[in-house]
Chain A
Amino acid sequence: MSKKVIKRLEKELGDKILETSDFRGDDTAIVGRKDWKAVAELLKNDADLAMDHFIDITAVDYPEREPDEPRFDVILHVRSMQKNHRVRIKTRVGENEDVASLASVWPGANWGEREIFDMFGIRFADHPDLRRILMYEEFQGYPLRKDYPITKAQPLVPYREVEGIEKLPPFGPDEGQPWGRIDWQARLEDEDYQVSPALGVQVGQRPMLSKGPETDTDAAAGEE
Chain B
Amino acid sequence: MEPYYEELEDEGSLELPSEPMKLNMGPSHPAMHGTIRMVLDLDGETVMDVDIQPGYLHRGFEKSCERGTWSQVFPYADRLNYVSPMLNNVGFALAVEKLVGLEVPERCTYYRTVLGELARICDHLTCNGATAMELGAFTPFLWLVKVRDWIWDILEQETGARLTHSFGRIGGMAKPPTDQLEETVLAIFPEIDHAMMETEALLMKNRIFLDRTQGVGNLSPERAIAMGCTGPVLRSTGVDYDVRKANPYMFYDRFDFDIPVGHDGDNYDRFVCRFEELRQSMKIIRQALEQMPKSGPVNSPDIRYVYPEKEDVYNSIEGTIAHFKLVMEGLKPPPGEVYSFTEGGNGELGFFIVSDGSGTPYRVRCRPPCWYNLAACKEMLVGDMIADIIPTFGSINMIGGECDR
**Bitwise interface map of B from 337 to 377 toward A, beta carbon under 8 Å scored 1, else 0:** 11101000000101010100000001101010001101110
* Residue from A23, A60, A61, A107 in contact with B227 in the complex, judged by beta carbons closer than 8 Å: A107
Query: Does any Cβ of A come within 8 Å of B228's Cβ?
Result: yes
Residues A107 and B363 in contact, CB atoms below 8 Å apart: no
Q: Which of A4-12, A49-57, A187-195, A212-220 contacts B (4 or more CB under 8 A)?
A: A49-57
Query: Does any Cβ of A come within 8 Å of B63's Cβ?
Result: yes
Interface of B is mostly: mixed
Q: How far is the CA of A148 from the CA of B60 in the complex (A)?
A: 12
Residue from B229, B365, B367 having most chain A Cβ neighbours under 10 A: B365
Nearest CB on B from A45, distance (A)? 12
Residues A108 and B227 in contact, CB atoms below 8 Å apart: yes
Query: Does any Cβ of B come within 8 Å of A75's Cβ?
Result: yes
Nearest CB on B from A44, distance (A)? 9
Q: How far is the CA of A77 from the CA of B362 in the complex (A)?
A: 19
Interface of A is mostly: mixed
On whether A24 and B58 interact (CB within 8 A), knowing A60-B363, A108-B228, the answer reads: no
Query: Does any Cβ of B come within 8 Å of A179's Cβ?
Result: no
How many A-B pairs have beta carbons closer than 8 Å: the answer is: 98
* Residue from A52, A111, A144 in contact with B62 in the complex, judged by beta carbons closer than 8 Å: A144
Report B187-231 residues with CB < 8 Å from chain A CB.
223, 225-229
Report B371-395 residues with CB < 8 Å from chain A CB.
371-372, 374-376
Query: Does any Cβ of B come within 8 Å of A150's Cβ?
Result: yes
**Bitwise interface map of A from 74 to 88 toward B, beta carbon under 8 Å scored 1, else 0:** 010100010010001
Residues A81 and B352 in contact, CB atoms below 8 Å apart: no
Q: How far is the CA of A23 from the CA of B223 in the complex (A)?
A: 32
- CB-CB under 8 A from A111, the residues of chain B are 371-372, 374-375
Residues B350 and A150 in contact, CB atoms below 8 Å apart: no
- CB-CB under 8 A from A119, the residues of chain B are 62
Query: Does any Cβ of B come within 8 Å of A110's Cβ?
Result: yes
Q: How far is the CA of A75 from the CA of B405 in the complex (A)?
A: 19
Which residues on B are within 8 Å of A, measured CB to CB?
27, 53-55, 58, 60, 62-64, 66-67, 98-99, 101, 223, 225-229, 239, 241, 246-247, 336-339, 341, 348, 350, 352, 354, 362-363, 365, 367, 371-372, 374-376, 404-405
